[in-house]
Structure 1
Amino acid sequence: MGKRLYGLSLASVIGMGLVLLMGALVTKTGSGEGCGTDWPLCNGKFVPAYTIESMIEYSHRFVSGIVGLLVLGAAIATYMKLRHSGEAMLFAFGALFFTILQAILGALAVIYPQSEAVMALHFGFSLLAFSTSLLLTVGIRTGAYVPAGSKAHRSARLLAMDDRTANIVPGMRKWIWGATIYSYVVVYVGAFVRHTESSGGCLGWPLCNGEVVPALHGATGIAFAHRIAAVLLLVIVAIIAYRSSRTPGSPDLLRAAARWALLLTVLQVFSGASVVWTLSSDWYLLTALMHVVLVSGLFGVLCYMSVLAWRSARISADPNRPAS
């Protein structure tokens, strides 16, 4: 695989991760209006005034623009080298699509004030752009795609990878796909908490305002819903990790990914708790950004597990697959 393509895709992943962090920073510091209602200029200027809010917001825009060019470059390079691979094309141009979509949504949020529900989608689309870029990079790195010009589209290395994913049973595939979709819902609710500034609705952890089930209204109801959703996600991921470890013949790739998913889920639960614990301290911004990092990593791992399940389904249904 060409080093330039891998380098571009890797730079896109790192860049999209930075965009996610900077977007969260904009929200947490209340810098969304740092450039007024002007876009792409900042308060009518190419170089904004040196205020904290304007610099944070404009830096986010600048980095997003650079990363957009990287994602575009990765998509073009993928088309040139891997256009015969439907999976690679899906991830490359999926990343480009979601990058453009989140940029448009961000611009509209500046020019025309949007509801909190719509603003929460901005983070969700950015997360999808990050995840599709990640899947493309992992596929390239692991040799899942055969370079254009190869005489055999199914090389010995790819067949070996197929053997490691073909034994994911149909029931496990459904659990994985369901967990991935549900995790996106949890992420959206978390973004909604952030944009509605409902983090303080549940003071204390694990209890909410000193109660097991608090009065479910306003910010308290939103924050409590996110907590319950996160706990349920932990249970689902734990079941997947347990079943993958106990099922005979379960692929090593799946077992390893499931263990990582469980670890990241546990960490993101405790990082969410740390956000509550540090609400009134100088550590709040750091814990909030760490929560974003862990949630993004968890969603990326679940998406990779979904791809493994998808490959397994395709391989199992292939009538020309050689008998093992």
Structure 2
Amino acid sequence: MGKRLYGLALAAAIGMGLVLLMGALVTKTGSGDGCGTDWPLCNGKFVPAYTIESMIEYSHRFVTAIVGLFVLATAVGAYMKLRHSREALMFAYGTLFFTVLQAILGALAVIFPQSDAVMALHFGFSLLAFSSALLLAVGLRTGAYVPKGMEAPGGPRGSRPEADTVMSAGMRKWIWGAAVYSYIVVYVGAFVRHTESSGGCLGWPLCNGQVVPPLTGATGIAFIHRIAAVILLVVIVIIAYKASRPEGGSRLLRNAAQWALVLTVLQVFSGASVVWTLSSDWYLLTALVHVVLISGLFGVLCYMSVLAWRSVRPTGGKNRSA
């Protein structure tokens, strides 16, 4: 479909992942006020003062702007090359929309103080932009958007592996439910960060030495996030088990479910490591690893959701992409 377009989509996906990571770094280091209330300038200057907070905040803005150009170029390229595929355009335009939306929300947060609940949405929109970019890049890599009848004989890009995905209606509901629920878990986690509630539950797996602590203040917020993460783990285990059965679906779905299970287990333990390192120099690293893992998990669940969606689409149609 074009190496340049794939390169742009891949750069946009990697860039949005970096934006997610840097946004978490801004929050964890308390650098959100590093540039005062100025935007796009930093404390009234184009080149900010060399303080840690201002450099972290301003570098986040700079990277977001550069990645935004990649996202825009990808959207334009998709319009020129992939107009036959509504799915590809949806991902390309979705990436652009959520990138702009999270940038606007970030700018408003600098100029006008926002509530923690609203700021948690900033991470959520960035995650949606990352996932859309990732899905577009994966689709281009696997040849999912090659017009029907133009597939190259042989080779990984001509085989249309996604088109062979078959799954039951029950499996589709589990996958779609898990994707939506995981976004809720991510939002609660972002809310924990922005309210600085990580210390509300000391110790793991118990919370302050209790099975069920008082659900008030930071303790309640952190404990709810833990319970939500455990429920997500149970849901992913069920999906992975169903996918592993002979009637569960294709090899593609089975592999994706296995990746989702691995990432879910890792993010649970990374969440525990965040608690264990709260008072150490390792805290920032463990917190960023936690963000990377949950972002990867959400991306895999979104990919599985797309596979579920493709499995119920009609096999014909002018604008169908495999």
What TM-score, normalized by structure 2, do the two folds share?
0.95
Instruction: Please tell me whether residue 52 in structure 1 is matched to residue 49 in structure 2.
Output: no
In the alignment, which residue of structure 1 is the partner of 2:29?
A: 29
In the alignment, which residue of structure 2 is the partner of 1:275?
A: 274
* In 1: Cα distance, 2:96 partner to 2:163 partner: 31
* In 2: Cα distance, 1:68 partner to 1:251 partner: 36
Question: How far 1:154 moved relative to its partner?
Answer: 7.3
Q: CA RMSD in A?
A: 1.7
In the alignment, which residue of structure 1 is the partner of 2:61?
A: 61
In the alignment, which residue of structure 1 is the partner of 2:303?
A: 304
* In 2: Cα distance, 1:240 partner to 1:16 partner: 28
Instruction: Please tell me whether residue 173 in structure 1 is matched to residue 172 in structure 2.
Output: yes
Cα separation, partners in 2 of 1:21 and 1:152, compared to 1, 3 Å: same
Structure 2: gaps spanning 5 or more residues? none
Deviations 1:108-143 (A, max 9, x none): 000000000000000000000000000000000000
Structure 1: gaps spanning 5 or more residues? none
User: Could you tell me which amino acid in structure 2 is paired with residue 300 of structure 1?
Assistant: G
In the alignment, which residue of structure 2 is the partner of 1:245?
A: 244
Question: How far 1:153 moved relative to its partner?
Answer: 6.2
Instruction: Please tell me whether residue 103 in structure 1 is matched to residue 100 in structure 2.
Output: no
Question: How far 1:152 moved relative to its partner?
Answer: 3.1
In the alignment, which residue of structure 2 is the partner of 1:8?
A: 8
In the alignment, which residue of structure 1 is the partner of 2:255?
A: 256
* In 2: Cα distance, 1:248 partner to 1:44 partner: 62
In the alignment, which residue of structure 2 is the partner of 1:131?
A: 131
In the alignment, which residue of structure 2 is the partner of 1:152?
A: 149
Instruction: Please tell me whether residue 86 in structure 1 is matched to residue 83 in structure 2.
Output: no
In the alignment, which residue of structure 2 is the partner of 1:75?
A: 75
Question: How far 1:246 moved relative to its partner?
Answer: 1.2
Native 8 Å contact 2:198 2:275 kept in 1: yes
Native 8 Å contact 1:145 1:158 kept in 2: no
In the alignment, which residue of structure 2 is the partner of 1:185?
A: 184
* In 2: Cα distance, 1:53 partner to 1:285 partner: 15
* In 2: Cα distance, 1:76 partner to 1:55 partner: 32
Question: How far 1:151 moved relative to its partner?
Answer: 7.7
Cα separation, partners in 2 of 1:114 and 1:163, compared to 1, 3 Å: closer
In the alignment, which residue of structure 1 is the partner of 2:291?
A: 292
What TM-score, normalized by structure 1, do the two folds share?
0.94
Native 8 Å contact 2:143 2:160 kept in 1: no
Q: Tell me the matched-pair count.
A: 315
Deviations 1:209-249 (A, max 9, x none): 00000011000000000000000000000000000111426
User: Could you tell me which amino acid in structure 1 is paired with residue 224 of structure 2?
Assistant: A
Native 8 Å contact 2:162 2:252 kept in 1: no
